[in-house]
Structure 1
């Protein structure tokens, strides 16, 4: 007779609900009816050990957690700064948040234990401060000059942020069946004096990713951990705005940091003579043409009528760009020469986090099993990370 797993039914239900998985989908994973599955969650019957292990893997929870006498303390949910009518976060979103929270919790406890200094910029400002002042402090702290990028803008921002002690995680999926939806979650920030983390959904193209990154950095500077989506350059203080006040503020900070007043003013009116010139300038700044147009409008460099005209032209150019990108990706699939698996994993873990975990493992202060779990990579493949980091 198959051995039963005498689990705690309340924990089985909690694990499913915190994974955002329906009873029907959970039941399919273990090939039983929803009615039979509910008998396990109600405590009237028990799954087999094999079935319980399958569920633990599906819920991304340790198998042993099912046998605890009561529901364990879980990570506190992040503040949801998304619109009130936003769709409920799906399983992929919940899992990436939990994954980053686990990493953040581990590194924060480590830093506090070994006596690392707290980061002075975390919570340095509030949403009542001037967004331009906060933006300048971010630029000064990270030593970034949007007028003089040494690398592609997003790469420079990530590198400088991690040099300052901010962990940047960037991915578009957990695995092939759990892909992130950019309409559900574009990014989130975990504010912490020792180890602040920023996550960016890389499902989007580079310009929105950069705006999201800087938006989330603003969350760190005002110590407001939370989830964002529909991040928009249109940061007008309209009373009926769809954005949460914190999101409006962080959008303003991001716009001021990526497009400082003095830089945009120096562009002059001639930059806005054609969409080609706008596109070229936007590319140099690492932003979208739309973002540059809105910024120019708000600085009175262009009129409302010219803005509308240029925006329509920019929309046409953007659609052509998307079509070119689609064709490029299709060709990459045909040639099977997509991004390196370990580079994608390195970006997901955060380069800074990966380096610290590997250093701890190499000096013997971290066990192989914990190091492997933290980086989601087998120990014998750590050398691939070392090559990429070098």
Structure 2
């Protein structure tokens, strides 16, 4: 006989809403759930397990007397909207996952006598853009025109990430929850977030975003680390939220990637967004933003350009095939620096394999093969 369980209807509807589904659409696809909510029938344990996976909720949560108070551990800023405490379950789960990894790494580094990073929070309470930009360049060992020495923006991006990781900042690129491609993180909802810590700062960049646009997100997050503020953001139309720290970090990113004096000189030569983007190794939309900021184009021209650019990028993305090397993808999703700390901890007996599997979202042969390839 199959074991049936009684579940509060409010918990079921909360779980469906939390996962981002409309109740009507969800019950059309899973008609049995309607009967559970109305109380006509009770689900079996197996049916409830299937339901919990579908709504991305730990099975045990469904037996709580009322929905738990889930709170984002960081402020999340939306362009043209107030700060929010509500994001999609995919973004929420990703923030919690990286927070768990950060908590482990922080303790591991302290136990192994790693020193705090001196640049974290160095400019807390200071809103001098040029000072912050100069400090970031100095710490990373980069000149003002560093990106122009690379052939492509991809080369510039790779070089920047390598330096950032070398300085102890964990840099994660992902567009899905863990390795689950059926749980995408929409770019318009989350371009990135940063978890500031003076021992183990973590940055997340949405890998579904345009590669050149990711440069801007990375430097925006560096500014958050230098000013000592954790946050998430959507950066719609590449505009910051109406918050003093977001506006400051936005200005720092713009000046770091496209210095105003150099941009003014370059604009005199070609007066062209595409050529300037090639020169500075950033996306055209970043150059368009800089042109708007410096009064070279109007708001109407910028938004018209933004829409056209977005449509071009969408078409380009649609024509690209999916797939690729899983292990190369996991390197970016995990961060090679973080992976090396996990590997060392396992080898020295400071971390159990069971816990290493949880921290890396891999297990068994996949875990072993990944570390064999990255050793």
TM-score (norm 1): 0.77
* Structure 1: gaps spanning 5 or more residues: 236-241
Aligned equivalent of 1:239: none
**For residues 314 and 117 of structure 2, what CA distance do their matches in structure 1 show?**
43
* From 199, 207, 210, the counterpart of 1:205: 210
Please tell me whether the aligned partners of residues 182 and 203 of structure 1 are also in contact (alpha carbons under 8 angstroms): yes
Aligned equivalent of 2:187: 182
* Structure 2: gaps spanning 5 or more residues: none
Aligned equivalent of 2:324: 339
TM-score (norm 2): 0.80
Deviation at 1:383, TM superposition (A): 4.5
* From 328, 342, 354, the counterpart of 1:369: 354
Superimposed CA distance per residue, residues 47-67 of structure 1 (whole angstroms, 9 cap, x where no aligned partner) = 533234334444555545667
Q: 1:14 to 1:196 in 2, by over 3 A?
A: farther
**Residue 325, structure 1, aligned to residue 316, structure 2:** yes
**For residues 132 and 118 of structure 1, what CA distance do their matches in structure 2 show?**
24
Deviation at 1:201, TM superposition (A): 1.0
Please tell me whether the aligned partners of residues 258 and 285 of structure 1 are also in contact (alpha carbons under 8 angstroms): yes
Q: Could you say what the CA RMSD is over the residues aligned between the two structures, in angstroms?
A: 3.9
Deviation at 1:155, TM superposition (A): 1.2
Q: 1:159 to 1:375 in 2, by over 3 A?
A: same
**For residues 68 and 180 of structure 1, what CA distance do their matches in structure 2 show?**
28
Aligned equivalent of 2:257: 258
**Residue 353, structure 1, aligned to residue 338, structure 2:** yes
**For residues 347 and 382 of structure 1, what CA distance do their matches in structure 2 show?**
15
* From 98, 101, 105, the counterpart of 2:99: 101
* From 44, 49, 54, the counterpart of 2:50: 54
Please tell me whether the aligned partners of residues 81 and 246 of structure 1 are also in contact (alpha carbons under 8 angstroms): no
Aligned equivalent of 2:364: 379
Deviation at 1:195, TM superposition (A): 1.1
Please tell me whether the aligned partners of residues 36 and 43 of structure 2 are also in contact (alpha carbons under 8 angstroms): no
Q: 1:182 to 1:293 in 2, by over 3 A?
A: closer
Superimposed CA distance per residue, residues 320-368 of structure 1 (whole angstroms, 9 cap, x where no aligned partner) = 9537724641xx35xxxx3212222221222221221122223332222
SS in 2 for 1:292: helix
* From 208, 211, 224, the counterpart of 1:219: 224
**For residues 269 and 78 of structure 1, what CA distance do their matches in structure 2 show?**
42
**For residues 221 and 25 of structure 1, what CA distance do their matches in structure 2 show?**
45
* From 163, 168, 180, the counterpart of 2:166: 163
SS in 1 for 2:32: coil
